[in-house]
Chains A and B, each alone.
Chain A
Amino acid sequence: MLKIDSLSFQYGRRSALKELTASSNAGKVVALVGRNGSGKSTLLRLIAGLAHPSVGSVLWRGEHLARMAPSRRALEVSYVSQRPTLSIDLTVQEMIALGRFAARTRLDSILRIDQAIDLMGLDGLKERSFHEISAGEQQRCVIARALAQHESNGLLALDEPFSNLDPGETMRVFGALKQRAQAGALVVVAMHDLSLVDRVAETVWWLEQGQLVAAGVPADVLTPAKLQEVFHCEFIRGPQGLTLTSRV
């Protein structure tokens, strides 16, 4: 279980998160939504244990994530950043294999890496250089690395992982994440496509100016009236779920 208690975080004097309290059981996909700069990326970094809270705590299965040694935390929690970077020349397969750095069990690792490559549809690209594939393929590559990193009941924190993906690849990736959640993982994902959130997430956490303003199932949180008020766009909720109707 992920438990966030009275969490505040500051960059210097600027407050990024204020008194945020939330929790979720494993086995779910939690979508973080909100406007740009609302604190989604900061919250994801804290959930991944990559920053120390200024106040409050983030606990995963009762343990403070920021206090765990990186080598131990990596066996439980994986993180995908908005912009994957790599300064050396590695193949797609080698890049995904970095996910097994903390595990150090060779036989099991080979199996997991192959499974992740298969899940993300990267079979034909595994010998290609990471720098020579498209942005969307790089995104799938780092998601595959996160999937290969730990047991299927771990915690995945993903920051806008669909930003470079076409609709087909988006559904493939979300299918893999859903499957991982059904196997006992907790998937926390920051995203902007609210129609997609409505269709695939079990829980939505809505952030505004560093505060959690709403949490619950998509149908309760993502109401057309609320979306109109915050984003100044028109949505309708029909049998197909939430749809954006505003035209430019």
Chain B
Amino acid sequence: MSKRQLSGVVILAVLLVLGVVARLLISRDPTTGGVHFNWPDENIFVLRFGAVRSALVGGACLGLSGLLLQALLRNPLASPFILGLSAGAGLGAMIAAWSVSVVGAGSVGWIAFVAQGADGVIPGTVGSLAVLVLVYALGRRGGRLDPLTLVLAGTVVATICGALTLLVQSLMPPASRGDSWMWFMGQVPELPSSGAMWTAIVLLCASFAASFRSGAALDVANTGDDEAESLGVSLRTLRILLFICAGALASASVALCGPIAFVGFVAPHLSRLLIGSRHRALVPASVIAGAAILVWADAVRQSIDVGAGRLPIGVLTALIGGPVFLMVMRSRRMRAGEWSC
């Protein structure tokens, strides 16, 4: 690892630690609205530590998923939220929940396992990968992937998936819906489901290992298809393996935190800014950056009261990530066509 890469990773790690400390200590006085930093009592600590765990794992999943999508699609605008993977995962999980609660599919053992697997991660992964295949097919113009067409296709498919999720939800009995409205806006649960948490951790570790091992291949894959194959990369194998990782990570983050916008987009860009473009270093950096961004966003929102409670985290990440997205879209390199497939 070069000096720049090492110092970049250290900066991100320090940011992450500071974010964790801030989230554990920050509190808001409900009467005066003032922000305080104090060590919480045991009961509050459990809740805050639960939120930290959710943000760490959810953010790390989003950061790595975003990096893999940007690298494999050679598209700096890609992320699990923008390409509709998060929406697809939500739809998959909702259809699975509906099939169990309404159709009674849960009475059949293997269907129950697939439908409820790891608190919705399995059907969510199926949904996110189905969306990825669809968006990939729709994003092609003249036989080539066009970065902006891909984003447009992702946005439309995400909107359709969101509408279908609402439809499926409305078909479910009220008692089975849970607090899905909050989930739709994205949340960092203080008491995360242990099934979703452990599944996300296992998927994150496996995907991290696969991505880190493929770091040099990802560098080569960012030349043209023919060039990458001639340099010794089996693009087909690389794409299948890492697209599955990206889809599963998006699904795990959705099962844990709901669809959270732009973390998966900003984390790889922040990492590139600090450590450069080599993927062997970008993989750990994006994991740390994603976790740091979500922990910090969760800490900051604790101090913002919108009247009916604290600012939803999805709103905060969208307000910060949206302008960054527009900056990248209008950047010189995008206009110069250097990012093309």
Contacts and interface: CB of A to CB of B under 8 A. Distances in A.
A201 to B, nearest CB: 22
A73 B232 CA distance: 7
Interface in A134-185: 142, 145, 149
Interface stretch (B50-58, B127-135, B332-340): B332-340
Q: Which of B232, B233, B277, B339 has the largest count of A CB atoms less than 10 A from its CB?
A: B232
Interface stretch (B36-44, B192-200, B214-222): B214-222
Given A50-B226, A131-B333, A101 B231 contact: yes
A42 to B, nearest CB: 12
A92 to B, nearest CB: 14
A88 B226 contact: no
Given A70-B234, A101-B216, A87 B74 contact: yes
A74 B223 CA distance: 15
B224 interface: yes
B229 interface: yes
Contacts, number: 80
A70 B229 contact: yes
A77 B220 contact: no
A52 to B, nearest CB: 12
A85 B340 contact: yes
Interface string B227-246: 10111111000000000000
A139 B278 CA distance: 22
A89 interface: yes
Contact of B234 (A69, A99, A142): A69
Contacts of B339: 87
Contact of A98 (B229, B231, B234, B340): B231
Contacts of B231: 70, 74, 98-99, 101-102, 145, 149
A235 interface: no
B229 A86 contact: no
B340 A87 contact: yes
A98 B220 contact: yes
Q: Which of B217, B223, B339, B341 has the largest count of A CB atoms less than 10 A from its CB?
A: B223
B234 A81 contact: no
A45 interface: yes
A84 B276 CA distance: 21
A14 B71 CA distance: 33
Contacts of B234: 69-71
Interface residues of A, number: 31
Nearest to B143: A11
A78 interface: yes
A79 interface: yes
A96 B227 CA distance: 12
A48 interface: yes
Contacts of A48: 226, 230
B232 A102 contact: yes
A102 B229 CA distance: 11
Interface in A42-57: 45, 48-50
Contacts of B219: 88, 90, 94, 98, 101
A108 to B, nearest CB: 15
Nearest to B236: A70
Contact of B223 (A78, A85, A89, A131): A85
Contacts of A73: 230, 232
Interface string A58-92: 00000000000111011101110101111111100
A74 B230 contact: yes
A88 B333 CA distance: 10
Contacts of A84: 223-224, 227
A81 B232 contact: no
A227 B123 CA distance: 64
Interface string B257-274: 000000000000000100
Contacts of B233: 70-71, 101
Given A87-B74, A88-B219, A101-B217, A78 B230 contact: yes
Given A70-B229, A101-B233, A88 B220 contact: no
Q: Which of B220, B226, B341 has the largest count of A CB atoms less than 10 A from its CB?
A: B226
B232 A45 contact: no
A86 B336 CA distance: 12
B232 A70 contact: yes
Contact of A85 (B217, B224, B276, B277): B224
Q: Which of A69, A75, A98 has the largest count of B CB atoms less than 10 A from its CB?
A: A98
A87 B338 contact: yes
A69 B278 CA distance: 24
A88 B227 contact: no
Contacts of B220: 98, 101
B226 A89 contact: no
Nearest to A95: B223
26 contacts: A50-B226, A50-B229, A50-B230, A70-B229, A71-B232, A71-B233, A71-B234, A73-B232, A74-B230, A79-B230, A84-B223, A84-B224, A84-B227, A87-B74, A87-B223, A87-B338, A87-B340, A87-B341, A88-B71, A88-B219, A89-B276, A98-B220, A101-B231, A102-B232, A131-B338, A142-B227
Given A87-B74, A98-B231, 4 more contacts: A75-B232, A94-B219, A98-B219, A101-B217
